[in-house]
Structure 1
Amino acid sequence: MAKAEEERLGEWIEAWDSDQVGWHMSGVNHYLKEFLDVMVAGKKDAKVLVPLCGKTVDMKWLADLGHTVVGIEGAEKAAKEFFTEQNVPVNIEQCDAIQGKLYRSADNKIRFYVGDFFYFNENLEGQFDAVWDRGSLIAVDEKDLVSYVSIIKSLLKTGGHCLAEVFDFDKGDNQNGEGHRSVSMDLAQKLFGDECSVKLLKTVAARDDAFYSKAGFADSSDRDKVNIYLISKN
């Protein structure tokens, strides 16, 4: 593993290896359910990218609805657990382009790349109708944030939508030791505004969200929010 790749992926691989994955949701994300039709613009067979996907069950849910799903994750354990737990037959092949592997479901509806997201590009899968970013914007290292956003924009088709779940903290980045980035509307506009429009679809106090209230935010300020953005490629 190259030094830059090791720096990006090392802590995440270690977290998966030690089962320290408190961000994983056992059920389908309720914001995805609520705004799916907007994200895929009504398509019944959209091509959806799920960056830094972990073993999210959202991918199986989307595929079962008829969509083609491409996930990318640095920790191979997440891929192994996803296909085992979801009972999805899988074929595994080397993928030199991302210096990793491709886990491909037997029906080819789910393609799960294991490797460094920053090696992923349009040559591998073309562009996407939609992107489901559940927390990746708040988790990427600061030094990689602009590059991450640039890749997302390059992979999204003109007219395509990225649905993003982020935190928006009253006092900026979270200081409770979890290291979450705050993504305000101003920051979202700064990151994406050169190629995309950004719309706030929903905002909820983190302590009032069923998942996050159990994940350390029960006593947070009511000004610490979970925001759902729709980022649309112009």
Structure 2
Amino acid sequence: MQAEFWLQQWREGRIGFHREQPLPLLLKHWPALALPKDCRVLVPLCGKTPDMAWLAAQGHSVLGVELSPLAVEQFFAEHGLATARHRSPIGVHHVAGNIEIIQGDVFALDDATLASCTAFYDRAAVVALPPLLRARYAREVYARLPAGCQGLMVTLEYPQREMDGPPFSVDAGNVDALFSRDWDMSVLDRRDILDSEPRFREAGVTALHTSVHRLRRKDASVKR
């Protein structure tokens, strides 16, 4: 997907993927990670998800990355947060308390920024990317997160032939192929959500599941 596609979606308000409340699956499974309160959590392709505010309320330092300036502005406005801003080679940084959103390309993140993230939450990124770009995402973003980094990845599974993405179908086999070399993984939850997603039914999708994957980055010194 080209950057302009997502910018246009936000300009036209075509953001059916956005949820007004924190994702219940996040609230249910995040505590199992037992992360330090002050850890830095990467939220790629964050949009204006209220999940970031929930993560910040747990004491975490939240680092969102988002292409659309509208999404970034709307997030802070909707939460009544005034921001400090500065530019860097990786984008425009918007900071309010323990929430920072970089308006820029996730592929432009530098090594130091990614190395500072000891946790991640991926609800909208991996499913937003078509296969070739998804492989690049695993190779260039996840591969630079530090050993011991852990987090939750929320995916969707449906017959891809029945609907064009995004969001794309990413099943357990896809996750394994992309991440098993460098990450320890387990599936924490998988549930049928077709009845609660009318836009998928209207598109002709006959089966829809969501899964929550727990990933933990392996020690790079461990031979594979």
Relative to the length of structure 2, the TM-score reads 0.88
CA offsets 1:127-182 (integer angstroms, 9 cap, x no match):
3221100031111133311121123423433222131111122x3x2522444322
Q: Which runs of 5+ in 2 are unaligned?
A: 219-224
- Alignment of 1:216 with 2:200, yes or no, is yes
Kept in 2: contact 1:49–1:69 (CA 8 A): yes
Alignment partner for residue 9 of structure 1, among 3, 7, 27? 3
* 1:40-66 Cα shifts (integer Å, max 9, x gaps): x24222210000000011111111221
In the TM superposition, what is the alpha-carbon distance from 1:77 to its structure 2 partner? 0.6
Report how many aligned residue pairs link the two structures: 217
Tell me the distance in 2 between the aligned counterparts of 1:132 and 1:177: 24
> Runs in 1 of length 4+ with deviation above 6 angstroms?
none
Asked if structure 1 preserves the Cα contact closer than 8 Å seen for 2:115 and 2:145, the reply is no
User: Contact 2:184–2:217 (CA<8 Å) still a contact in 1?
Assistant: yes
CA distance, structure 2, for counterparts of residue 147 and residue 79 of structure 1: 24
CA distance in 2, matches of 1:206, 1:177: 18
Shift of 1:197: 1.6
Q: Percent identity?
A: 24
The two structures, once aligned, show a CA RMSD in angstroms of: 2.0
3-state DSSP of counterpart to 2:163? coil
Given candidates 214, 217, 226, the residue that maps to 2:210 is 226
Letter in 2 for 1:163: L
1:103 equivalent in structure 2: 94
Aligned equivalent of 1:186: 173
Q: Deviations over 1:4-37 (max 9, x none)?
A: xxx6310100110111111000001111101111
| TM-score normalized by the length of structure 1 | 0.85
Change (3 A) 1:62 1:167: same
Is the Cα–Cα contact under 8 Å of residues 106 and 141 in structure 2 kept in the other structure? no
| 2:118 aligned to which of 116, 129, 147 | 129
Unaligned 5+ segments in structure 1 are 1-6
